[in-house]
Amino acid sequence: MKKRFFIFLAGAFVIILAAAVAIPFFFSDAVAAKVKNSINSNINGKLDFSDFKLSLFSDFPYLSLHLENPACYSFVGSDTTELFRSKSVRVSVNAWNVLLGKEKLVVKGLYIESAMVNLVQYDSLHANYMLINGAESTAEPKSSMMDFSLEDFTIVGSSIRWESMPDNILLVVRGLNHTGSIAQISGDQEVHSELKIDSFTVTSGLFTILNEAKIASDSHIKIKDQGTRYDIGDSKIQLNSFLLKYQGSVEMKGDSLLLGLRFESPGTQFKELFSLLPNAYTADFERAVSSGSFSFKGAVDGLYLPDGRSYPGWNVAIGVDEGAFIYPGKSMGISNVKVRVLSRNTQRDMSDAFISVDTAVFLLNRDLVTARLYADKLAADPHFRGDINGRLDLVHFGEFYPLDPGTVLEGRLDLDLKFDARQSAIELERYNELLFHGFLKCNGIRYTQPGMPALSVPVAQVDFQPSKLSIDNANLIF
């Protein structure tokens, strides 16, 4: 009797093993066709791939699904756009949990290799990634309470392009690499993400905001209360050489946001802060000679409601002492940099909010520039007052700082200005309440940049007086 039982058991095992081998082999094409038809019938686009593989053995005991050269095309716009393309996408799922109907889905890994994502926002209502038929429905989505875990989410050597046509903004990401994990228990999620980007560029029209910046981040986030609360553990992000640590919480209640965030830079070298400037982070940046220190620390706490009904409190402080920087091979650099910036708010109506630039000083070659600024009443009637004084040879600036290729900057500026102005006085044309006193002299100014009209100011002088503004000897050429 025992012998028959073991023979039966062995035979069943052989049948299951044979089925595990045969089903993916003989039915892979049918499954692939079913997947394509099912997805394509529900999107305003097309999904395609060159090969589809199923296996119970390549990642046993997980069921492995492998797509080679998957591509997704969008038909949303007037022309077909390629939304997504990748060399390979592979998913490994715990098949036994699926077959036995267990309440927890375990995904061992999701691996995406050499992906290209192309996102286009046509207007406020249409984008090439809005593919799902009937996506405009306003019905509340049903939240899934199934527990699941994605133990490894890896993206290798990928890129993203996002374009907002209404705003003329373009974002380009190259060399994106990511590892992370996601776990959901009783509707709450825990996410860990490590991200590295080799090149991050943001342009707005003809202006470059970030140029091939490098980004690295390590974030730990718990998502609770059906996605309305985000608890951020000790996390960090690095932009070029600038490292920022942060933690706290964000909670959404209707149209309100309850914020409790802390952030601080552990760095102390002026060079790290300098790397944030547009075009500053060059290929030879790390070999630059720099000295001086900086500090950056802040917090945001409180309730935000739109339409000015409530603002959170904040406290942000930035300081730079004896900053100096010179690029490799350059004969000219910036020095004697000193900055003191403080901004604070404690009231929901922002009645005591202010921004203070108590000190801003730098020396470029022998040209010294100093400035101060104080702004308050930021919500009701912004009030700005301060002064700026200095002489600056723009040729020296171009010799020190990396400009866009083809850019020409030359000439000299002399400025000595004090100002005190309220927004309401400008809007109501009460110009007698505005205080401007000093002068601006321009000599031999010339600025050209590819794609923009050239500007030339051979000579000009502007005199600011409490009651009038006079312009003498002005000669502008476009």
Residue 52: its pLDDT value, please?
Answer: 84
Residue 73: its pLDDT value, please?
Answer: 93
Distances, alpha carbon 87 to alpha carbons 51, 59, 79, 150, 433, in Å? 11, 20, 24, 21, 65
Residue 139: its pLDDT value, please?
Answer: 47
Residue 206: its pLDDT value, please?
Answer: 77
Residue 238: its pLDDT value, please?
Answer: 96
Instruction: Return phi, psi of residue 121, to 5°.
Output: -100, 110
Rounded to whole angstroms, the Cα distance separating 149 from 341 reads 45
Q: What is the pTM of this model?
A: 0.84
Instruction: Report pLDDT digits (tens) over 133-189.
Output: 765 544 454 445 678 899 999 999 999 999 999 999 999 999 999 999 999 888 899
Please say whether the beta carbons of 456 and 477 come within 8 A: yes
Residue 455: its pLDDT value, please?
Answer: 86
Residue 469: its pLDDT value, please?
Answer: 66
Contacts for 420-425 with beta carbons within 8 Å, 24 or more apart?
Answer: 420/384, 420/385, 421/383, 421/384, 421/385, 422/377, 422/381, 422/382, 422/383, 422/384, 423/381, 423/382, 423/383, 424/381
Residue 168: its pLDDT value, please?
Answer: 94
Residue 26: its pLDDT value, please?
Answer: 47
Residue 147: its pLDDT value, please?
Answer: 84
Query: Tell me, what DSSP letter sits at residue 332?
Result: -
Instruction: Report pLDDT digits (tens) over 209-243.
Output: 888 999 999 999 999 988 899 999 999 999 999 99
**Pairing label, strands 435-448, 455-465:** antiparallel
CB atoms within 10 A of CB 140: 6
Rounded to whole angstroms, the Cα distance separating 159 from 161 reads 7
Residues in the chain with pLDDT < 50? Answer: 2-23, 25-26, 137-139, 141-143
Nearest to 248 by CA among 236, 238, 233: 233
| E-only strand ranges, 327-431 | 334-345, 354-364, 367-376, 383-393, 408-422
Q: For residue 307, give both structure tokens.
A: 């339409």
| E-only strand ranges, 205-255 | 207-224, 229-239, 242-253
Rounded to whole angstroms, the Cα distance separating 177 from 173 reads 11
Residue 35: its pLDDT value, please?
Answer: 73
